Structure 1
Amino acid sequence: MPHLRIVYPRWACALVFALGTLAYSPTGHTFDDYQLPSLGGASTAVSSEEYRLGRAWLRQFRAHAPQWQDPIVSDYLDGLIARLAPHSQLGRLQATIVMVDNRSLNAFAVPGGVVGINSGLFAFADDEGAFVSVLAHELGHLSQRHYARRTARAEQTQIPAMAAMLAGMLIAASGGGDAGIATAMGSQAALIQDQLTYSRRFEQEADRIGLQAMANAGYDPEAMVRMFSAMQRMARLQGGNPPEFLLTHPVSDSRLSDAQARASQLNVADAYTSNTLYDMMRARALLSINRNSPQQAASRLAQDNAEESAQRYLDALIAAHNGQTDQALQTIDQLAQELPDYSMLPTSAASIALDAQRYDDAIARSQRLLRLVPNYLPAQLVLAEAQLQRDPAAAFNLLRDITSQHTENPQGFSLLAEAAGRSGHNGWGHLARAEHLQLTGRVDRGIQQLSIARDAARHENDQQLIARIEQRRDDFLEYRATLEKF
């Protein structure tokens, strides 16, 4: 559709059309230990097409939106999704989290299972139930296929509207600073507003699915009502300039009343809460948001009456930020003794040691934890990064395992590329760099990198690696073809 390329940036068309072809149950291409989904080619079912296109959307979003890189918080969010998913009518869909470095209140869901979370959502939601209510609502949109149902009613007119929608999301994610996007989409401002806003029926449907999922997962559904009330107050205070989430998910009185009525009728199964752990994740988010003035993060956490242990944890992170490594480690080690079930505490200590270039300490701390929790990804990543400074070959072996298990993790491939280069595995290094490029939306550059990887593998006479690279090249070409269709 060449007219799309004229009106909108090419990447916007590729991204947005990913929202249009819908369904679930991915059946992607598998090659060796990478198990990466194919983004192009004939689809065996509408569901696999949506999954592939959703992953294409994610790659392009990573290329243009500011990312919040925090493996500890990412693992926490994966846990929340895993708890909600069985009760959210998602079927076989596997949700993938993308974290956006933006202080504004926002979250979104994209067909194919992509759930986006702004760091600012942690700042607004002062307890885990409130935060979970937003996740549950977004999973409700996914399970009820609201984008698909909207598109099915007006497919021809929806294409430019969806392009505007995607561009609007990127403008919001980047704080409105991308002049090129703003210029390209300038005349579409009203269309963005109109198309991003779900219908009242879709909003209530997602609320109902989310409320039931919360109750079944052990969360008090009244937390969603509290969150909506807080959002409604914010919308009234901010008038015509509310946060992006309230533009796309307006909270009306009738919607609030409906949620209240339904929440009051639900019974909570096996009540669950973890506000201490949530407050620690919130501490990390607030510190990220206020990285230039850390004390503001501490003041905000104290103002909201966070758990005392979480406030001590934030104090330790701030101490580490100020170069007071020993004080930070002492505090976190004490917290780890008091809360032995929180793997993120010893991992935080190992990360602080790593940042202070105490590589042997970081290795020892990570290894000690991984003997107890072998597959805890945040600790694995700290260990691998520390081993890069002491034993690149060990880092290379560990990172090959990590990337085989976490094929959508750009950080793992970035570290693998470095470890491979330092340990003399040049072919592997270029292949890992190519994978990182395609995961972050730069498929053309990834294809170029594969050519370099093939030459290096031939020089090393590694026939198995050559075969792997050739297969990945075919896959990358399919990825590119999928994007070029739009």
Structure 2
Amino acid sequence: MTDSHNTLTRRCNKAPLTQRLRTGFKALGIGLLLGTIPIVTTATSEEIRLPELGDSTSGVVSRQREKELGQMWLRMFRSQVKTSSDALLQQYVEKTVKGLAEYSPLEDKSIDVVVVSNETMNAFAVPGGIMGVHTGLFLFAENEDQFASVIAHELGHLSQRHYARSLEAQRNSTIPTLAGMLGALVLAATAGGEAGIAAMTATQAAALDSQLRFSRKNEQEADRVGIETLAKSGRNPDAAGEMFEQMLKATRYYRRPPEFLLTHPVTEKRIADAKLRSQRMEDVPPSDSRDYHLMRARIRLAGEPTPQQAVKRFNAELNGINDNEDAARYGLALAQIAAGKPDMALDTLQPLLDKEPSKAAFVLARADIDLVRENYSSATRRLQHALDRNPGDHALTMGLANAHFKASNYLAAERLLAKYSRIRKKDPSVWYLLAETHGLAGDIVGVHEARAEYYILNGIFDKALQHLRHGIRMTKNEYQTNAILEQRLKDVIKMQEKAREL
């Protein structure tokens, strides 16, 4: 079930990527030429001089309009890229972003987080409170504070209103700029970074020089705010300089630098400035979050060609050199589960369970062992007990729903997800699993309603309207349900109209 909703979205977008992007931009009322501008495919260690993607809330448009733009951007982005459906990973990133946002100067601290399944090192912020993180960032950042330094930097762009300043310098260019960001980030997350930079450059060519000059000041401000945010949140501010050093090394040893560097110039002077700023902060004892390494293990497992190869890799780490022994053990257990070896997985996982029997990551892994053994009642009991102790936990909720689904307890899964969908309204994975569950529970109207919400969140309005109309036809004699679906139909039509007006 983990990647099924991404597959469904992609089935609705079978056209070539450039064609899909042009179609999407027409919905925004603009056109975009892709791949028409030559691009630089190598970088020097002195400075990578390319346009800025990190940005902020806009002062040229109203905050409400900005939110609408951001949500529309997010829907279109989701429709074109493979996003992670790993609930534990999503929860970790959301918690990290929220924790940092609380200590940032952002006025509106509510952030929508999208995790992109892509091994490139990248993170981005988009006007309207959107934060994107590539899974590759976990592989590049050696510890949680380094990871957090990148997030804090992007929050710095948002809080300092760099996007608003960009619009002031490029009057009336709101939509082309957002569309350029969409094109660049979609291509960076699918076809690769070089194509993404071509798309961005094509869109912003007219204002390229001013953006480059502006970018240096933006980066300095985002560095300052990001480092201050790190320190205020109790994290090590030295991590920012450490991360910059790793980025600079990447420009020296790789043909292409990480995606993040293509839009965030790094120089020796910038590294020195970051170190100087951090030295002025109060000393924070170095820490190395185990949770971060557990998430890295999950991502590394997903990146291995086969579960068997993952078993070999984690086994070698557990018995040799590793960043975190618990994470190596956890990764090995997950790999053994994926390889269909539940008994070996339990032997591997047991020491972790003995130390922390109630930790969500370990409980979920133990439940997965039950599921592989087809001991469904044990899995659901275990997860229900954990959820009772941690009500509202996203990963445990989705884990329990999935266990009920696999156990053919469709009514139990349906009740759980129907309630949860009212809390987590903007999560496509919740609506996707709810639609599947409704279908197997025999609630066909519920299928259409949940499918419609799923397609709305992915910016596929035609499909959403199709499902809503089916639901309306089936509920002619059910006044309340029919009225709700009729109203939702009107809402989606308005969304389409706004998309064309943007």
Q: Is this contact kept in 1: 2:55–2:154, CA < 8 A?
A: no
The aligned runs of 1:387-398 (5 Å cut-off) are: 387-388=404-405, 389-398=407-416
The aligned runs of 1:362-441 (5 Å cut-off) are: 362-388=379-405, 389-441=407-459
The aligned amino acid for 1:232 is L
Distance 1:85 1:192, change over 3 A: farther
1:428 Cα deviation from its structure 2 partner: 1.6
The aligned amino acid for 1:424 is G
Q: Is this contact kept in 1: 2:184–2:200, CA < 8 A?
A: no
In the alignment, which residue of structure 1 is the partner of 2:7?
none
**Partner SS for 1:9:** helix
In the alignment, which residue of structure 1 is the partner of 2:301?
287
In the alignment, which residue of structure 2 is the partner of 1:250?
265
CA deviations over 1:415-457 (Å, ceiling 9, x no partner): 1112222223221221001000111121111011100111223
The aligned amino acid for 1:394 is A
Are 1:312 and 2:312 matched, yes or no? no
1:249 Cα deviation from its structure 2 partner: 0.7
In the alignment, which residue of structure 1 is the partner of 2:71?
55
Q: Which of 185, 202, 216 pairs up with 1:188?
A: 202
Matches of 1:350 and 1:373 in 2, distance apart? 16
Give the share of equivalent positions with the same residue, in percent: 33
1:297 Cα deviation from its structure 2 partner: 5.5
The aligned amino acid for 2:346 is L
User: RMSD of the alignment, in Å?
Assistant: 3.3
Distance 1:223 1:415, change over 3 A: same
Q: Which of 317, 340, 364 pairs up with 1:347?
A: 364
**Partner SS for 1:166:** helix
CA deviations over 1:109-161 (Å, ceiling 9, x no partner): 11111111111111111111111111111111111121221112112467545
Are 1:361 and 2:378 matched, yes or no? yes
CA deviations over 1:3-23 (Å, ceiling 9, x no partner): xx9997131365798x99944
Matches of 1:123 and 1:86 in 2, distance apart? 26
The aligned amino acid for 1:252 is T
Are 1:10 and 2:27 matched, yes or no? no
In the alignment, which residue of structure 1 is the partner of 2:48?
none
CA deviations over 1:382-412 (Å, ceiling 9, x no partner): 2112222332111111101111111111111
Aligned residue-pair number: 456
Matches of 2:224 and 2:29 in 1, distance apart? 27
1:162 Cα deviation from its structure 2 partner: 4.6
Distance 1:360 1:221, change over 3 A: same
In the alignment, which residue of structure 2 is the partner of 1:34?
none
Long gaps (5+) in structure 1? 25-44
1:178 Cα deviation from its structure 2 partner: 12
Matches of 1:309 and 1:16 in 2, distance apart? 51
CA deviations over 1:322-358 (Å, ceiling 9, x no partner): 1111222343343133134632210232244345644
The aligned runs of 1:78-93 (5 Å cut-off) are: 78-93=94-109
Q: Is this contact kept in 1: 2:122–2:136, CA < 8 A?
A: yes
Matches of 2:291 and 2:500 in 1, distance apart? 44
Distance 1:300 1:115, change over 3 A: farther
Matches of 2:58 and 2:149 in 1, distance apart? 24
1:262 Cα deviation from its structure 2 partner: 0.8
Distance 1:313 1:21, change over 3 A: closer
1:83 Cα deviation from its structure 2 partner: 1.2
The aligned amino acid for 1:9 is R
Long gaps (5+) in structure 2? 1-17, 31-53
Which range moves more in the overlay, 304-313 or 102-111? 304-313
CA deviations over 1:169-228 (Å, ceiling 9, x no partner): 11110033999x999x59929849959867011111111111111111110000111000
Q: Is this contact kept in 2: 1:320–1:328, CA < 8 A?
A: yes
Q: Is this contact kept in 2: 1:126–1:304, CA < 8 A?
A: no
**Partner SS for 1:87:** coil
Are 1:260 and 2:278 matched, yes or no? no
TM-score, reference length from structure 2: 0.82
**Partner SS for 1:115:** strand
The aligned runs of 1:27-426 (5 Å cut-off) are: 46-156=62-172, 159-160=175-176, 162-176=178-192, 185=199, 188=202, 191=205, 194=208, 199-238=215-254, 241-267=256-282, 273=287, 275-292=289-306, 293-294=309-310, 298=314, 305-340=322-357, 342-354=359-371, 357-388=374-405, 389-426=407-444
CA deviations over 1:277-308 (Å, ceiling 9, x no partner): 11100101111222434258638967873111
Distance 1:353 1:55, change over 3 A: farther
Q: Is this contact kept in 2: 1:428–1:465, CA < 8 A?
A: no
TM-score, reference length from structure 1: 0.85
In the alignment, which residue of structure 2 is the partner of 1:33?
none
1:166 Cα deviation from its structure 2 partner: 2.3
The aligned amino acid for 2:180 is A
Matches of 2:395 and 2:433 in 1, distance apart? 13
